[in-house]
């Protein structure tokens, strides 16, 4: 069973069809740590934290968020995958801004429902998060 397959995808932000992109798919072998190793062989990286102070992003090894920056003839492509006990959803974005928005929304969801430790002053909706919570921590890169 492979965690990565080449597929045709449609970018979420621009609606472009992109061929032969490395897409993460469901992975129900072993655990999330194994998944992390396997996807790393295909240039994907699990993003451990998000926001200016590096709050948790997911709940390892059960829930993780991974990212990749790749490119085609037009320019950069940014991929985000969510892993939840082997179920995987992958999306791609043409712009880094929309990619970061997607990661922020995922982080907010984990923080808000108590699956991960986040900022104490969370607003009601992800769209209301201050800009300092919508970026990778300054001490790491987020596959960007």
Residue 114: pLDDT band (50, 70, 90) is confident
* pLDDT score of 57: 94
Asked if pLDDT for residue 38 goes beyond 90, the answer is yes
What are the sequence ranges of the domains in the chain?
A: 4-133
46 token code pair: 């699990």
- Say how far apart CA 83 and CA 62 lie, in whole Å: 7
- Residues near 114 by beta carbon (within 8 Å), at least 6 away in sequence: none
> How many beta carbons lie within 10 A of that of residue 55, not counting itself?
17
pLDDT average, residue stretch 125-144: 81
3-state secondary structure 96-121: HHHHHHHHHHHHHHHHHCCCCCCCCC
Give CA–CA dist 107/105, Å, rounded. Answer: 5
Average pLDDT of span 47-75: 95
Residue 83 has pLDDT above 70, yes or no: yes
Q: How far is CA 139 from the centre of its chain?
A: 17
> Which is higher by pLDDT, 138 or 97?
97
């Amino acid at each position: 069973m492979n965690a990565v397959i080449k597929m045709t995808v449609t970018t979420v932000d621009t609606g472009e069809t992109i061929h032969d992109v490395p897409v993460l798919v469901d992975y129900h072998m072993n655990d999330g740590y194994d998944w992390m190793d396997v996807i790393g062989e295909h240039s994907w990286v699990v993003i451990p934290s998000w926001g200016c102070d590096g709050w948790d992003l997911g709940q390892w090894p059960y829930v993780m968020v991974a990212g990749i920056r790749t490119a085609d003839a037009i320019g950069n492509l940014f991929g985000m995958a969510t892993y939840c006990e082997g179920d995987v959803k992958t999306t791609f974005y043409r712009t880094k801004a929309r990619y970061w928005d997607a990661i922020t929304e995922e982080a907010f969801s984990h923080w808000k429902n108590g699956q991960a430790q986040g900022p104490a002053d969370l607003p009601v909706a992800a769209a209301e998060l201050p800009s300092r919570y919508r970026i990778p921590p300054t001490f790491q890169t987020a596959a960007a």
